[in-house]
Amino acid sequence: MYALRNISRLSKSAAAIKTAPKAFNAAFLKAGYASDAKSSGQIRSVIGAVVDVQFDQGKLPSILNALEVKNLDRRLVLEVAQHLGENTVRTIAMDGTEGLVRGQPVEDTGAPITIPVGPECLGRIINVIGEPIDERGPINAKQSAPIHCEAPEFVDQSVVPEVLVTGIKVVDLLAPYARGGKIGLFGGAGVGKTVFIQ
């Protein structure tokens, strides 16, 4: 009985993965992660990476929503971390805040920060807002996922032990990496840690 229940759960999760792009927005609206109505506000204060944004009464964005502001001809993303009173949110900037001024307009995206996911992302380096930083052009991913989400259930995770082949013989032979696990990479200054992960 337990095996049958797990098989049905796995088949349901596989079906959910196929329909994920269509159901993504609806699920986040239902869960309260995103709001239907997008609103706009103004910067109230900037202290380092912390930016307070004031909105109209009753139009506060949800916690973890992404806000966008134009900063010196580039897009700056702010993430809502806290509600301060009835009309102000405290946000964390995902990049430098030099050039931001009080009264500058801010737009609520109505959704959390999302990053591209899928096979197109393998071997690529992206920043926290999903932009490629490896100078290899844009990532043409068909799906995206929020940076804040629950871990997959245990039954949905692969339990088959596999080796992640890096192509570096000394690593694959002496200290092989397990696929799907976590790895700590330690080393002194200038020994090639960054070169290794590229």
Supply the pLDDT for residue 186: 85
Provide CB contacts within 8 A for 113, sequence distance 6+. 64, 66, 77, 79, 94, 128, 129, 130, 146, 147, 148
Task: Give the residue from 108, 95, 112 showing the smallest Cα distance to 146.
Answer: 112
Give the chain's mean pLDDT.
81
**Distance, CA of 103 to CA of 112 (rounded, Å):** 23
Structure tokens at 138: 């844009």
Least confident of 24-38, 122-136, 166-180: 24-38
Residue 7's pLDDT band, with cuts at 50, 70 and 90, is very low
Say what the pLDDT of residue 193 is.
82
From CA 179, how far away is CA 4, in angstroms rounded? 27
Q: Is residue 31's pLDDT more than 60?
A: no
Position 153 confidence tier, pLDDT thresholds 50, 70, 90: confident
Read off the amino acid at residue 61: P
Specify the 3-state DSSP secondary structure of 134: coil
Q: Which residues pair with 177 in a beta bridge?
A: 164
| Ramachandran assignment for 7, one of left (phi > 0), alpha (psi -120 to 50 degrees), beta (any other) | alpha
Confidence at residue 131, expressed as pLDDT on a 0 to 100 scale: 92
How do beta strands 105-112 and 88-93 pair?
unpaired
Dist. CA 75–CA 169, nearest whole Å: 42
Answer whether residue 29 shows pLDDT above 70. no
Note the pLDDT of residue 37: 61
**3-class secondary-structure state, position 157:** coil
Tokens of 83: 């509600």
Q: Which residue has the higher pLDDT, 149 or 48?
A: 48
The pLDDT, as a whole number, for residue 57 is 80
The residue type of 32 is: G
Q: Answer whether 0.85 is exceeded by the pTM.
A: no
Give the chain's domains with CATH numbers: 2-31+115-146 (no CATH), 40-112 (2.40.10.170), 158-197 (no CATH)
- Mean pLDDT, residues 55-77: 90
136-167 burial, b for 16+ CB within 10 Å, e for fewer? eeebebeebbbeeeeeeeeeeeeeeeeeeeee
Q: Is the pLDDT of residue 46 over 80?
A: yes
**29-33, 55-59, 125-129, 179-183 — which is least confidently predicted?**
29-33
- CA 13 to chain centroid, in Å, comes to 21
- In tens, the pLDDT along 133-147 reads 999 999 999 999 999
Q: Which two tokens stand for residue 35?
A: 């709001």
